[in-house]
Structure 1
Amino acid sequence: METIKQIIKDITLITEPSLEKLASHFKEIHYPKGHLLFRQHEVDRTVYFIKSGMARAYYRTEESDVTFWFGKEGNSVFSYNSYINQTPGYESIALLEDSILYRIEHHQLESLYTTDINIANWGRKLIEKEIIMVEERLISKLLLNASERYKNLMDHYPELLQRVQLNYIASYLGITPVSLSRIRAEIR
């Protein structure tokens, strides 16, 4: 389990006074498996970091849920639309395990950004890293076939295969659970 200070430092280097100031604004909270951090079509400008546990982001359609993100220890969790535009998010984010999170409200971060350039630069690096992760997921969906996406998942995020239901993984890969079973059998 990572402390909030370690999670902050993993994003980018930050001076000790700024680290202390930023860390002091986070509150540690515990939620059970299944808890919804964000609800589709609602505005919520809270930012979380996962100390322990797993989360998934999904979009609910009339037919099914489409999973497009998993978060684990050290990851940030927030609704981009709500956070940046103050508009309803398109996703729901649910916890897949009992989880411990660090929480800070957007208005607290904004206040820290305007009073401490080191924290403002830290926030910029956080968003830059999020953009890169979104781009990597998009490129994977566009350029790799289902087997390649699964192998990529195995290589880069093997813990997901142990901690996440296969139907969520299939949805994340953009395939049916039957296709996922076939791919897994071929790889063995």
Structure 2
Amino acid sequence: MDNIKSSFFPKNHMVSREGEFCNKLYLIKKGLVRGYYMSESNEITTWIDSENEIFTSITGFFKNQKTRENIQCLEDTHCDYLEYDDFKYCLHNFSEMRHIYRIMLEQYYIFAEERVYLSRILSAKKRLDYFIENNNPTVMKRIPKKYLASYLAMRPETLSRLLKEDQ
């Protein structure tokens, strides 16, 4: 299909910034990407995706509104993507795309449920243990510690201490 395009983003590239419109749905072929928002002067990481995962600004893409978050590449990242109009065309004209879309929605809800569950665990140690048990260890090692700490709602010093205790 000619409408699927490829892109490359270098490490630290901002794919999308809060307040912009994001009209692309990306599939990561190789790389690591995070979503985050600013709270006062702190970056709060809300999700981290890697190979074979889809990312976009959910509000920006599906509601055609300004994004609420920033999207940053944590590594050199290679993606395939569909623009919004092409995505909608495929949904309306190809049953296979509707099937893919259903799978995407299911996966998104599973990830959202995991994030909600993780955010309700009061103990920093238990949050880290849960994350380790439920995520690919190879990907975890690639995530910069300050972003992993933010995602797990703890200070980087706390994460470092907990990781040392687990060794």
TM-score range relative to shorter protein: over 0.9
Counterpart residue identity of residue 164, structure 2: A
Counterpart residue identity of residue 149, structure 2: A
Q: How many Å separate the matches in 2 of 1:128 and 1:101?
A: 21
* Equivalent residue for 2:149, pick from 145, 170, 183: 170
Q: 1:64 Cα deviation (Å)?
A: 1.0
Q: 1:144 Cα deviation (Å)?
A: 5.2
Counterpart of 1:145 in structure 2 is 123
Note closer, same or farther for the CA distance 1:152–1:55 as it changes in structure 2 (3 Å cut): same
Counterpart of 1:180 in structure 2 is 159
* Equivalent residue for 2:7, pick from 29, 35, 38: 29
Is there any run of 5+ residues in structure 1 with no aligned partner, and where? 1-20
Q: How many Å separate the matches in 1 of 2:94 and 2:149?
A: 43
Task: With the length of structure 1 as denominator, give the TM-score of the two structures.
Answer: 0.82
Q: 1:159 Cα deviation (Å)?
A: 2.1
Q: What SS does the corresponding residue of 1:97 show, helix, strand or coil?
A: coil
Q: How many Å separate the matches in 2 of 1:45 and 1:122?
A: 18
Is there any run of 5+ residues in structure 2 with no aligned partner, and where? none
Counterpart of 1:42 in structure 2 is 20
Off by >4 Å, runs of 4+ in structure 1: none
Q: How many Å separate the matches in 2 of 1:119 and 1:164?
A: 31
Q: What SS does the corresponding residue of 1:149 show, helix, strand or coil?
A: helix
Counterpart residue identity of residue 176, structure 1: R
Q: How many Å separate the matches in 1 of 2:102 and 2:66?
A: 22
Q: What SS does the corresponding residue of 1:186 show, helix, strand or coil?
A: helix
| CA deviation map 1:23-43 (0-9, x unaligned) | x43112111111111111222
